[in-house]
Chain A
Amino acid sequence: MIGQFIDGPLWTFSLTVFLIGVVWRIAAILMAGKRPDLATPKGSAGAGALRAVFSRFLPERTVTTQGRLPLIAGYLFHLGLFALLFFAQPHIDFIAEKITGLSWPAMPHWAFIVAAEFAFAGLILLWLHRILHPVTRLLSDLDDHIGAVLVFLVMLTGCLALAQAFEPLRLIHLLSAELLLIYFPFSKLMHAFTFVMSRSYTGATMGRKGVNA
């Protein structure tokens, strides 16, 4: 009964909240508007925006020398999570069955283990850095911690459900993922989408000035 609810209506509800919420947040940002820049440009705003979207995946030297821990932990977590989310066989099967109908090759089991270790190590290190470093401790709020805990829960239950031998574990994993989807649009987790916008706005401004940002 509960299993059917998690598998059926709650999944539909959480996915709907996620999709509508994300679109609403992005639309709200765009609708806030931005005045056109009247200064004669030196370079291309479009090229600057495109460049910044990708160049900011690589850190400046100031960060590589002074902020190594969050930088390395950030890479571990994001790359690990991305691999788990889109290249774990159960996820590919789930996406094919419930959302897109499309599937693609999965990563081998050993790669799943490596990706999971990366993601766990990265997330734990980032969270420890958040609560221990004076700067991140000052900046952090409840939203940061809720987001970290929810993602951790999803990853943990996902690993427990990996063997696919015990149905309740799969349902717990799905339930935690659904909670994450519902929370997502109302939180800083939105940066997974809005980073493209923030990088683009800055890149466009700097691109007009002829500065590679």
Chain B
Amino acid sequence: MSEPFDQGVQVLRQQIDAGISAYFSSCVHCGLCAEACLFYTETDNPRYTPIHKLEPMKKLWRREHTFWGKLGALLGLSEPLTEADFSEWETLVYDSCTLCGRCSMVCPVGNDITDMIRKQREGFSAAGYAPEGMKEATRRALEIGSPMGVTYATLKAALAHVEKDTGLNVPVDRQGADYMTLFSSMEVVNFPEYIAAITRIFHAAGVSWTISSEAFEATNSGIQIGNKDAAAELVNRVVTAAEKLGVKSVISPECGHAYMAIRWEGPNLIDRAYPFEVVHILELLDQLKAEGRLRLASKENTPMTLHDPCQIVRRGGVIQPPRELLNSVAEHFIEMKDHGVMNWCCGGGGGVSANERAEPLRLQAFNRKKQQLDESGVDTMVTACANCRIILEEGIEHNEMDTAVISLTELIADHLLEGGKEN
């Protein structure tokens, strides 16, 4: 057996806490979680049943935490976890799970299957069984500072364009600002309009904000691949920068898993509570609107629907703010069937979008979102996650659909009442 394999088993062993033990003890193999998973519903392949993706961890738990498992191990009758298990399950653990959390909402015994898979990934990653694309993204994040290789120089160039387009100053490294804003690489590279949008909104609302030149990247490949040390290092960079600038709050960008990383996993990764608050950009916009600082004018007449990013809504708890905001700028906001905490994933979360070999399966799984959209009868979909946006656009193009995907923050900026005038 190889050293990484042993390390993987050891890391997996460390993941088995009271929660995991209760979950495995409670699972009665009813299979209902399959009906909540888009990889099962769109393929009818029973191997994509969420709880089945946890067989390696269950094998270890059973052998080391149950009477029959321990007896079997003693008598040499039960098979230990092997490299073959890691190898066989790697695609199930990474390619066919977006950590969307839908299965965790339907389990009759209440198992948080998503959390189990998130923890199982820690063992797989340590054993070296993870997709190359995710390994590379994590390496780039640690070495360069961004999974897409975006440096501060790249951001600086984007900010120069934003300043030119908006005529506004973008504050960088401003000591004592109220808010420090983070971005996802995708926003910097693919959707710089987002940066322009928040620049205009913050200016109009009189928000004291800044960007840190030392930590502007919000995405965290470490939590996607399942590498606690890498994830903690990436969170630490943000925390250090926020403490250095003395900000009161850190703003998570629209990106879903970035919010999960910095808001919910972050303090646990670095083993301490933050001395500042973390807010999602939609929470802040909703708050500014409630305070009367974000003034909006006119409404879109085009019927619009909302795609709830899993990590922001179902796993993150930002449920009402996107609805309040969209309702304030859309005359005809139509909810999709299964919206909110039971929304269907875009198919590219949890690192699947960074996993090239998963693309055919991801596009097949997108049929669920297509069906959801078709049922809504709406051609304009608003969302609040750069990764969802890219994945949705790819799926729409692949299926030759006529659906526009727009960012909620950008939509809000388009309806901003600036200086008493509508933009």
Contact = CB atoms under 8 A, between A and B. Distances in A.
A38 B268 contact: yes
B30 A70 contact: yes
A84 B41 CA distance: 37
A144 B319 contact: no
Interface of B: 16-23, 25-32, 34-36, 40-41, 44, 46-47, 49, 51-52, 65-68, 102, 104-112, 115, 263-268, 271-274, 277-278, 314-317, 319, 338, 341-342
Contact of A40 (B20, B66, B277): B277
B314 A211 contact: yes
- Secondary structure at chain B's binding surface: helix, strand, loop or mixed? helix
A32 B31 contact: no
7 contacts: A28-B65, A52-B110, A62-B102, A135-B46, A137-B46, A186-B67, A211-B314
B342 A29 contact: no
Nearest to A58: B108
A198 B272 CA distance: 26
A114 interface: no
A212 interface: yes
Interface residues of A, number: 61
Given A63-B36, A70-B31, A201-B18, A35 B268 contact: yes
Given A39-B267, A40-B277, A138 B52 contact: yes
B22 A29 contact: yes
**The 7 A-B residue pairs with the shortest CB-CB distance in the complex, in nearest-first order:** A199-B110, A210-B317, A209-B317, A38-B267, A66-B35, A135-B31, A139-B29
A25 interface: yes
Contact of A141 (B29, B115, B316): B29
B19 to A, nearest CB: 4
Interface in A183-213: 185-186, 188, 190-191, 194-195, 197-203, 205-206, 209-213
B316 A34 contact: no
B271 A32 contact: no
Contacts of B36: 60, 62-63
B317 A198 contact: no
A168 interface: no
A130 interface: yes
A52 B341 CA distance: 15
A61 B315 CA distance: 18
